Structure 1
Amino acid sequence: MSDGEDRATNPHNPLLPSPRTRVSPPSTASVAHPTLALLVDNQHFVATHVALQQQLITSQHELWAISVGATRVCAEREGEMRALADQAAHIKAEARAVAVSRTEVDQVHADIQLLVGARIDL
């Protein structure tokens, strides 16, 4: 509202308020009600803020625990994979050794057959 709307004008000087018009300060009750409402709202917001902070801390702790668990699982899997790779390499080496031994056995067997044939001829 403009100044002209909330006070009557003085007939002698239109720029001055009428002597009958008084501006009264707001009553204590009208100020106290919004203030109390704001205090209640503020207490609600503080309680909500505290609850949200606690939930955030709990969630961060759970996330940290999950991260630690996932790191452990990955390390275990990597260890298992290394062990399997080592075992596979060992089995391949044994297979090559068996193949070499088989070749030698086959050669010995062939030599025996030759010797048996030569003995029969004698």
Structure 2
Amino acid sequence: MQFPRSLRTLKLTGLFLFGSMLWACAVSAGVPAFVKESIYSPNAAAVAEVVPTLAADVVILDGGLEQGIRLGMVCRVTRGLQSIGELIIIESRSDHSAGLILELVKDSTIQAGDIARIKTLQNS
């Protein structure tokens, strides 16, 4: 069956518009967040809480082996641009770790939300 020329043109135009809408939806869906993340561990974790004990305060971090934090590593704790102190990691699991405070800046305390970053050496 032969369609009149105007009806055929209308169908082709409709198919073109439908295809364009599908393409626009696919483009606007965006890229998943995990694709934009680095494949390298950040070597940092946020302080979840500080647990006081009789011997020493234990600092619990919201990051562990997945963030590159390993047993025995020394971490520098910061709040914004201000350095607060240092900890040594005494336990590390996949997504949590714990550390003991080695050093604190005078009149400072480590609080939830502070950031602990692995302290690294730089060769000159």
Is the TM-score greater than 0.5?
no
What is the TM-score of this pair, normalised by structure 1? 0.33
Relative contact order, CA 8 A, sep 6+: which one is greater? 2
TM-score by length of structure 2 reads 0.33
**Normalized per residue, which structure has more helix?**
1
- Indicate the structure with greater strand content: 2
Say which one has the larger Rg: 1
